[in-house]
């Protein structure tokens, strides 16, 4: 996937921009509160200062999240050594989805090998604008730079490579996200 995206980047600029949440770009990311961790934690945004963070709000049984999972895994694997940390925060929409064991199984089924937290009370999800800035989807993503500033928002749904014309927006969103990750990973100019 990464090689395909690099060819796409070289031949065609992305045309994707978020419909919601763009005003958050350039603002400090909110600290994470009310989380429990099922793998790779506990973490706070302050713990990750100096790293680039790709934060994805996801939920089990979400088809958009399932289709986005391969891209998250590949981005994590490809850019981990450069300083990218992918973090998945589960936000349940039902009482049954608050079961930590079920969430852990869902994360494993999606192949998440990066830190995964659970936001059962939606404290962090709401702090990032879900329900106010983001009304269409709850499965939104953020690229947060090394200083803790939001540099990119994906306003929800899915992003992934391929899929034909009916998913061209998904590929364009992934290209835009990867470009934001690459820009955030570049060393600061002296």
What is the model's pLDDT at position 15?
74
pTM of the entire structure? 0.90
Rounded to whole angstroms, how far apart are CA atoms 48 and 45? 5
| CA 156 to chain CA mean position, Å | 9
Q: How far apart are CA 182 and CA 75, in angstroms?
A: 10
- Please give the domain boundaries of the chain with CATH numbers for all domains: 2-185 (3.40.30.10)
Cα separation, 50 vs 60, in Å, equals 30
Rounded to whole angstroms, how far apart are CA atoms 64 and 82? 27
Cα gap 31→127, rounded to integer Å = 9
Of 167, 168, 171, 141, nearest to 76 (Cα)?
A: 141
Per-residue pLDDT of the chain (190 residues; tens, 9 = 90+): 555 555 554 555 557 889 999 999 999 999 999 999 999 989 999 999 999 999 999 999 999 999 999 999 999 999 999 999 999 999 999 999 999 999 999 999 999 999 999 999 999 999 999 999 999 999 999 999 999 999 999 999 999 987 656 568 888 999 999 999 999 999 866 6
What pLDDT does residue 171 have? 87
């Amino acid at each position: 996937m990464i090689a395909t995206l690099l060819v796409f980047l070289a031949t065609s600029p992305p045309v994707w921009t978020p419909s919601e949440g763009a005003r958050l770009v350039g603002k400090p990311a909110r600290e994470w509160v009310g989380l429990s961790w099922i793998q790779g934690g506990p973490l706070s945004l302050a713990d990750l200062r100096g790293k680039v963070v790709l934060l994805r709000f996801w939920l089990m049984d979400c088809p958009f999240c399932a289709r986005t999972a391969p891209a998250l895994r590949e981005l994590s694997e490809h850019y981990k050594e450069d300083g990218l940390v992918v973090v998945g925060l589960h936000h349940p929409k039902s009482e049954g989805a608050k079961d930590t064991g079920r969430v852990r199984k869902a994360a494993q089924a999606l192949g998440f090998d990066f830190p995964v937290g659970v936001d059962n009370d939606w404290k962090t999800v709401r702090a990032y604008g879900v329900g106010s800035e983001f009304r269409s989807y709850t499965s939104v993503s953020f690229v947060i730079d090394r200083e803790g500033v939001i540099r990119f928002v994906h306003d929800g749904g899915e992003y992934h490579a391929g899929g034909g014309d009916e998913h061209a927006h998904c590929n364009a969103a992934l290209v835009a996200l990867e470009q934001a990750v690459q820009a955030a990973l570049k060393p600061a100019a002296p």
